[in-house]
Amino acid sequence: MSPQVILPELVDLDVAPGDAPEAVIRHLAALVTTAGRAADADELAADALEREAKSGTGVPGGVAIPHCRSESVAEPTLAFARLSKPVDFQGPDGPADLVFLIAAPAGGGKAHLKILSKLARGLVKKDFRAALRGAATPEEIVDVVDARIAGTAQKTASEPTAAAKKPEPAPTEPTKSVTRIVAITACPTGIAHTYMAADSLTQAADDRDDVEVTVETQGSSAVKPLPAETIAAADAVIFATDVGVKDRARFAGKPVIESGVKRAINEPTAMIDEAIAAAGNPDAKRVSGTAGADDADSSSSPGGSSLSWGKRIQQAVMTGVSYMIPFVAAGGLLLALGFLFGGYEVADVADRVSQAYTPWNLPGNEITMDDGTVTVVDRSDLMLYLGAILFATGNFGMSAIVAILSAFIAFGLAGRPGIAPGFIGGAISVAIGAGFLGGLVTGILAGLIALWLTSLSVPRWLASLMPVVVVPLVASMGVGLIMFLFLGRPLTSLMNALTDWLGGMSGNSAILLGIIVGLMMCSDMGGPINKAAYLFATAGLSTGDEASLQVMAAVMGAGMVPPLAMALSSALRPSLYTQAERENGKAGWLLGASFISEGAIPFAAADPLRVIPSMMAGGAVTGALSMAFGAASRAPHGGVFVFFAIDNVLGWFVAIIIGAIVGAIAVTAAKQLWPRKTAVDSASADPADAPAAAAASA
């Protein structure tokens, strides 16, 4: 890395640009521009603030690292401010007094990521932070940072140099009191937290003589896998990840401790102690060697044999729902667009119009069907033709959702070998009328059968044929036989009963269902309960009956409430929220209007006891009112932007507005009457207690 990434004129010490991240970022952007590294300070600041709005860049130790790529930046640049008055960048231990702005050219490749990852790894070191706080001049800051970025600072065990490596042990039996641990760290962006977690673990290990830790960082840059001999010699494994572990099968059979990546940053010693205990416990959770654990992502992989079958099946179902949602969104929105262009009668003539007509032979408003009957519709010519094509395309997509659900439930249990039998089982469910209930059952059956087959010990000549021929063939045959001989008719009867029940809903029963789905949608805002309610609604959407469309409207309306309610509350009573929460509240208006319930997660994570019950109250009100008003949605997603696919759209809007107001009033009252300590309050305590205080504030 160029030693000129930071210069004395890019350093400002003991300053107070303002009380909010925006003021600090603009101050640093001005330094970069004055130094000739950027053409436009406002553009650079806007790019950095856009990144900051996605999630705060505060990290442990009272540090913040706002960063961005910008068209205005000429070369990778690092600006630094030591603040006399700390500012809240949403760090885990309160406001930050050390702030780095990393500015990279828009077309600068991975230079931006490399600077950030090296800097982040240094920030977990107490001596590095102490040097930054103790420096008397900008020149001293430059020397400290240059040494870190250029790699002349001491490396950790996860990034060893020849000089820093521990001496190779003599070729004798290793000391039995030393536990060897290998670890994987990974975060969704693969930049800061990945490397900070790695260095936290290795530094904690360096302070003790009973353990050796070697870390593989699965970050944004090239991954250097752990040597096979190192894994083989390991006594235990730590997975500190928020995403799937690549090549998980390498660790099969090893005792394992798993957590999110932030726990490795905040509690490295505790994780190491747990790994040491697991190494000596024959009943400890171990990394599974099954295909499901190796091939599925972290949301679906069993992770280890200690997970109950109920939990593994639940994770697999959630995997199926997650993979199904894009198909539902694409197919459902295409159906909605078909109605927009072709009118509601397009559903009756879409197949005929899309196949019998062309752009040079457009249909009129009288369509002769295959059986010779004539269907009269309101639209004609190009609008009807486009509507029919869009509707037919969406209809094909919606017809596949049960098979997709079943395929990826099986994938969640057995990995890739489960996809084919799961898909075939789902297709059978649709054909015999078992619907999404059948898809759930066939996905689980296919996954379990495929998982059992992949666990069999077979001759070497047969092993290569197992995943591509034997497992799909036998598992598909098994699912087909079970469905046609035993489960098909009962599941079809159950699905018909459910459909009849939905169709017969009216009055109080419909309102009660609206309350239930509203509570579910707002209980975890994108989590398993939310997904279960959404699956219930979208599965019925493919049938097209009015009751199912009303459930879809109630589910979508209730899911819009949490971001809107938090946006309203933070706008009306900003003093109850931190600066970062107020910024999240501004984004909540658009997120809520777009039916992105996850927009309220930052509020719920910071204050779950007050936020979640309040949002559930608002969601229940919206669900009940939507059902009472008879609002119906032909679109599975899109929020207010698919208003054209909503029946009684005015009533639906009223239901959402009232629910958002109820949620906002409830959360405001809860925060007012039952106040919590803020991150700023926590920061005033002993720094050593800051992480615990921040956690307690929730």
* 3-class SS of residue 140: helix
* 3-class SS of residue 63: strand
27, 67, 112, 193: which is the annotated catalytic residue? 67
∠ at Cα 450 (447, 451), nearest 5°?
A: 80
Tokens standing for residue 17: 């640009």
Per residue, the 3-state secondary structure of 650-689, as one string, reads: HHHHHHHHHHHHHHHHHHHHHHHHCCCCCHHHHHCCCHHH
- Our answer to whether residue 68 is catalytic in this structure is no
Q: Which residues contact 100 (CB under 8 A, 6 or more apart)?
A: 63, 64, 65, 66, 67, 78, 79, 80, 119
| Location of structure tokens 């990852």 | 117
Count the neighbouring beta carbons within 10 Å of the beta carbon of residue 398. 22
How many CA atoms are closer than 13 Å to the CA of 392, on its beta-carbon side?
15
27, 112, 187, 522: which is the annotated catalytic residue? 187
Which amino acid is residue 531, in one-letter code? K
- Our answer to whether residue 193 is catalytic in this structure is no
Distance spanning both ends of the chain, measured CA to CA: 40
Helices (H), 212-344: 228-233, 261-266, 268-279, 291-295, 309-342
Whether 211 and 181 have beta carbons less than 8 Å apart is answered as yes
What φ, ψ does residue 151 adopt, rounded to 5°? 90, 10
Count the neighbouring beta carbons within 10 Å of the beta carbon of residue 546. 14
Using CA atoms of 563, 564, 565, 568 in order, give the dihedral in degrees to the nearest 10.
120
Q: In the chain, how many H helices and how many E strands?
A: 28, 14
Question: Where is 101: in which H helix or E strand?
Answer: strand 96-105
Q: Where in the sequence numbering do the catalytic residues fall? A: 67, 187
